[in-house]
Chain A
Amino acid sequence: MNRREAIQRTALALGYAISAPAMMGVLNGCKPSPELAFKPVFFTEPQAQTIAELSEIILPKTTTPGAKDAGVPGFIDSMLKEVYGKEAQEKFIEGLNAFEEDAKKTLGDGFMDLKPEQRVAHFKKHHDEALSAAGKGGPTGWWNAGKDGDKPFVLKVKELTLLGFFTSQPGATEVLQYKQVPGPYHGCVPLAEVGKAWAT
């Protein structure tokens, strides 16, 4: 996350307290500058590192930006602090701790001390288990299988990663495509003419 994004997210996290014109002032007065270290507001540093790593495993940098490029770790941190209720926060941390404990128990090291391929394997194990336990879910929209508090930890991270990534500018415009002003609606167009999936 660059400085501009960092300020934007912080300012926006304060939401309604800042008027739109004031917020524009903050943003316009801020020149792009080199990467700032991601400063968690909810997670501890080690927790934040694990979350950042998981988000990048879910959506890695390829020829296009990945989760870290899009500021997803900071997004998740802020979502946990601002949007998750107390009970949901506690469940999330419980899940994170259990994920970490299982890494120690089965692989002999904490998640961040594992080799990269071991991290992926550890994520995959939990991810596959969670999905096969949860069943198929409904056909449309957000997947409701297991209400917010009940969704297994790895799927909460996956959900937050997807939300943060595909609502970010790199995710929406470089990985998918996005037009704020599409113009008149065309209902039946060859996919080849449209190209990639729409972000919204």
Chain B
Amino acid sequence: MNLNIDAQKQQTYDAIVVGTGISGGWAAKELTQKGLKTLVLERGRDVKHVVDYPTMTKDPWQLPHGNKLTEEELKFYPVQSRTNWVSQANKHWWVKDTENPYTEVKPFDWIRGYHTGGRSIMWGKQTYRLSDLDFTANAKDGVGVDWPIRYADLAPWYDYVETFIGVSGRAEGIPHLPDGKFLPPMELNCVEETFRDKVAEKFNGRKITIGRVAHLTAPLPHDPSRGVCQSRNMCDRGCPYGAYFSSNASTLPAAAKTGNMTLKPNAIVHSIIYDEKKGKAIGVKVLDAETKQEVDYFAKIIFLNASTLGSTFILMNSISNRFPNGLGNGSGELGHNIMDHQYRAGATALVEGYEDKYYVGRRPNGIYIPRFRNVGDDKRTDYLRGFGYQGAASRTEWQRGVREMSFGEDLKNSLMEPGGWSIGITGFGECLPSHSNHVTLNKDKTDIYGLPTLSFDAEWGPNEKAMRKDMKDSAAEMLEAAGFKNVTTYDNPDNIGLGIHEMGTARMGKDPKTSVLNKWNAVHEAPNVFVTDGAAMTSSACQNPSLTYMALTARAAEYAVNELKKGNL
């Protein structure tokens, strides 16, 4: 009996954070810096910054097969490779689908990375604020439920997060895409500058700006361990300079420095332990990924940052007499309202001129065209909300040689010169929350640990489809207006999930009857359990969402610690 009590003491912390990705790293940093002894659980293997980036300095000739996967390797990644991004350089960051099954009632691309740092290692670094155009949208349109917060609630936390992680960008004074605490912007190239000027001129001041990105373009005084971007554009391998923000480069080292963090890799959370007598969550049940042994850990507060569907899975799998349908699921909304961003629809063009201009460096960034639909005087009758564009102009390189008529010495000589300029933009479109887009727990299909798996039943709705058409048309319209040639629209297949911005499934809201989380990201029915990753999103907006997860996490952590001190949790 005493032994058990001792063991339980050893497994007791002030706080538990589940997940080490973009939001989990933030939870770990905030809670440890506020003095909480914090257990940080990562389901995958450990990845140490720089030390565990095996391909980070490999030149093209040091990667086999022109960086393409072999047929044998592809067998492990039938879903992950739908992105076309899995390569020899980065294959170690993607889950093997063969070991991580799920069910697609309708096609859903579930793209994951299970290791310390999660997808913060291979994310796109695009970093945008939401605004009240987004936070009021559901209420205004009568779609889903209203966000329980407004921009003013999150603005200081955006400031706080941006200052710490380092965000490069240009202040533009756009009310619905608020400026942040920016490091110097990256440069546009000559063609992008022309495009910006022409679009402003022909579309009544419509803005094109350089992408706002979590890359350092100047040193961070508070974090000298991170260096400035060297334009290698090999970010997906891990950055030896720590120039882009990842948990591994930034938040986890900050958490470790406090001495308050215990980081446990290979620790798969099975469920949250709910104490019926105390009427509260008291810890988590963990499976050791290597030994498959079950261990319970205890804490006063629990942060779920296991990624949108990972966190929702844990809540769904946390069954008790109090919560027979999943912890905090009194509303019946847990697992519902899954959202993503649709993209891969836009236009490309050829650009004449500028043959005497080129660039130096591989900029890990592009242009951004902030949303202009259903903003201000613009009113669409065919769809709600809007989209932003990402894209870039560049000169064609040796790849163009395949379709050149020349070969031999002529071809070789011509490819030593950069080719003509081309430009392309793709929309990133908002997705409406819909109760019918959902995941369920599939107990008939278990994984290698005997855990149930998720079953996806979600698809783009009529609003997304109508918007998608405009994503193509408006792209072509701008490229034409800029005077570019051979303007061609495209609409490539795009399952929900492929945006890798999965959101919703445990939405925030004012009413426990219609939402899972309250305005502090705490579970309405279990207020010492916080969910601060993409699961919390009440609507998707059209901006890349990671910054918002980080800001929500820092805000929730402060609230949680204050409540803990007051004895309320």
The reply to whether chain A is a binding partner of chain B is yes
Which range holds the interface residue count of chain B?
A: 35 or more
Residues of A within 8 A of B70 (CB): 13, 15, 82-83
Residue of A nearest to B69 (CB): A83
Residue of A nearest to B357 (CB): A188
Least distance between B334 CB and chain A CB atoms (Å): 37
Least distance between A144 CB and chain B CB atoms (Å): 10
Residues of A within 8 A of B65 (CB): 12-13, 78-79, 82-83
**Interface presence of B330 (CB below 8 A):** no
Q: When the two chains form their complex, are residues B416 and A172 in contact, meaning their CB atoms are under 8 A apart?
A: no
**Interface presence of B232 (CB below 8 A):** yes
Q: When the two chains form their complex, are residues A178 and B59 in contact, meaning their CB atoms are under 8 A apart?
A: yes
**Interface presence of A134 (CB below 8 A):** yes
Q: When the two chains form their complex, are residues A138 and B230 in contact, meaning their CB atoms are under 8 A apart?
A: no
A186, A188, A194 — most chain B CB neighbours (10 Å): A188
B-facing mask of A43-76, CB < 8 A → 1, else 0? Answer: 0000000000000011110101000000000010
Least distance between A157 CB and chain B CB atoms (Å): 10
**Chain B 385-438 interface residues, beta-carbon cutoff 8 Å to A:** 395-403, 405, 407-409, 411-412, 415-419, 422, 424
Docked complex Cα distance between A136 and B403 (Å): 7
Q: A142-B399, A188-B189, A200-B362 are in contact. Are A60 and B409 (CB under 8 A)?
A: yes
**Interface presence of B91 (CB below 8 A):** yes
Which of B69, B232, B411 is A59 in contact with, Cβ under 8 Å?
B411
Least distance between A173 CB and chain B CB atoms (Å): 9
Q: A15-B70, A83-B68, A138-B488 are in contact. Are A182 and B361 (CB under 8 A)?
A: yes
Residues of A within 8 A of B290 (CB): none
Give the segment of A30-38, A104-112, A120-128 that binds chain B.
A120-128
**Chain B 487-506 interface residues, beta-carbon cutoff 8 Å to A:** 488, 490
**Interface presence of B229 (CB below 8 A):** yes
Give the segment of B15-23, B198-206, B347-355 that binds chain A.
B347-355
**Interface presence of B104 (CB below 8 A):** no
Which of A139, A145, A167, A168 is B486 in contact with, Cβ under 8 Å?
A139
Q: When the two chains form their complex, are residues B359 and A186 in contact, meaning their CB atoms are under 8 A apart?
A: yes
Which of B54, B192, B363 is A20 in contact with, Cβ under 8 Å?
B54
Least distance between B327 CB and chain A CB atoms (Å): 38
**Interface presence of A155 (CB below 8 A):** yes
B-facing mask of A69-103, CB < 8 A → 1, else 0? Answer: 00000010011001111000000000000000000
Q: A83-B71, A136-B403, A186-B360 are in contact. Are A60 and B412 (CB under 8 A)?
A: yes
Q: When the two chains form their complex, are residues B230 and A186 in contact, meaning their CB atoms are under 8 A apart?
A: no
Q: When the two chains form their complex, are residues A197 and B403 in contact, meaning their CB atoms are under 8 A apart?
A: no
Least distance between B491 CB and chain A CB atoms (Å): 13
Residue of B nearest to A132 (CB): B405
Q: When the two chains form their complex, are residues B190 and A15 in contact, meaning their CB atoms are under 8 A apart?
A: no
Least distance between A118 CB and chain B CB atoms (Å): 15
Least distance between B94 CB and chain A CB atoms (Å): 12
Q: When the two chains form their complex, are residues B422 and A187 in contact, meaning their CB atoms are under 8 A apart?
A: no
Least distance between B487 CB and chain A CB atoms (Å): 9
Residue of A nearest to B189 (CB): A187
Q: When the two chains form their complex, are residues A143 and B403 in contact, meaning their CB atoms are under 8 A apart?
A: yes
Q: When the two chains form their complex, are residues A123 and B190 in contact, meaning their CB atoms are under 8 A apart?
A: no
Q: Please report the total number of A residues contacting B with Cβ < 8 Å.
A: 69
**Interface presence of A3 (CB below 8 A):** no
Q: When the two chains form their complex, are residues A139 and B408 in contact, meaning their CB atoms are under 8 A apart?
A: no
Residue of B nearest to A134 (CB): B403
Residue of A nearest to B70 (CB): A82
Docked complex Cα distance between A131 and B406 (Å): 10
Q: When the two chains form their complex, are residues B64 and A9 in contact, meaning their CB atoms are under 8 A apart?
A: yes
**Interface presence of B187 (CB below 8 A):** yes
Residues of B within 8 A of A137 (CB): 403
**Interface presence of A184 (CB below 8 A):** yes
**Interface presence of B143 (CB below 8 A):** no
Which of B60, B349, B415 is A197 in contact with, Cβ under 8 Å?
B415
Q: When the two chains form their complex, are residues B228 and A184 in contact, meaning their CB atoms are under 8 A apart?
A: yes
**Interface presence of B358 (CB below 8 A):** yes
Residues of A within 8 A of B348 (CB): 138-140
Least distance between A155 CB and chain B CB atoms (Å): 6
Which of B57, B64, B396, B401 is A162 in contact with, Cβ under 8 Å?
B401
Docked complex Cα distance between A65 and B70 (Å): 28
Least distance between B280 CB and chain A CB atoms (Å): 45
**Interface presence of A8 (CB below 8 A):** yes
**Chain B 60-114 interface residues, beta-carbon cutoff 8 Å to A:** 60-73, 88, 91-92
Which of A123, A163, A172, A176 is B59 in contact with, Cβ under 8 Å?
A172
Docked complex Cα distance between A190 and B354 (Å): 9
Residues of B within 8 A of A190 (CB): 356-358
**Interface presence of B331 (CB below 8 A):** no
Residues of B within 8 A of A128 (CB): 405
B69, B350, B397 — most chain A CB neighbours (10 Å): B397
Q: When the two chains form their complex, are residues B416 and A197 in contact, meaning their CB atoms are under 8 A apart?
A: yes
B-facing mask of A146-166, CB < 8 A → 1, else 0? Answer: 000000000100110011101
**Interface presence of B508 (CB below 8 A):** no
Docked complex Cα distance between A123 and B407 (Å): 10
B-facing mask of A8-23, CB < 8 A → 1, else 0? Answer: 1100110110001000
Residue of B nearest to A155 (CB): B402
Docked complex Cα distance between A78 and B64 (Å): 9
**Interface presence of A39 (CB below 8 A):** no
**Interface presence of A7 (CB below 8 A):** no
Docked complex Cα distance between A143 and B415 (Å): 16
Docked complex Cα distance between A79 and B70 (Å): 8
Residues of A within 8 A of B71 (CB): 82-85
Least distance between B395 CB and chain A CB atoms (Å): 8
Residues of A within 8 A of B88 (CB): 12, 15
Least distance between A56 CB and chain B CB atoms (Å): 9
Residues of A within 8 A of B536 (CB): none
Docked complex Cα distance between A169 and B189 (Å): 28
Q: When the two chains form their complex, are residues A15 and B64 in contact, meaning their CB atoms are under 8 A apart?
A: yes
Least distance between B115 CB and chain A CB atoms (Å): 15
Residues of A within 8 A of B217 (CB): 184
Q: When the two chains form their complex, are residues B356 and A185 in contact, meaning their CB atoms are under 8 A apart?
A: no
Which of A12, A187, A192 is B359 in contact with, Cβ under 8 Å?
A187
Residues of B within 8 A of A (CB): 54-55, 57, 59-73, 88, 91-92, 186-190, 192-193, 217, 228-234, 348-350, 355-363, 395-403, 405, 407-409, 411-412, 415-419, 422, 424, 486, 488, 490
Residues of A within 8 A of B (CB): 8-9, 12-13, 15-16, 20, 57-60, 62, 64, 75, 78-79, 82-85, 120, 123-124, 127-128, 131, 134, 136-143, 145, 155, 158-159, 162-164, 166-169, 172, 175-176, 178, 180-192, 194, 196-200
Closest 5 CB pairs of A and B: A12-B64, A187-B187, A185-B361, A187-B189, A182-B361
Query: Can you show 19 pairs from A to B with CB atoms below 8 A apart?
Result: A13-B65, A16-B92, A75-B66, A78-B64, A78-B65, A82-B65, A82-B71, A137-B403, A143-B400, A143-B403, A158-B407, A169-B61, A184-B230, A184-B231, A185-B360, A187-B193, A194-B360, A197-B415, A199-B398
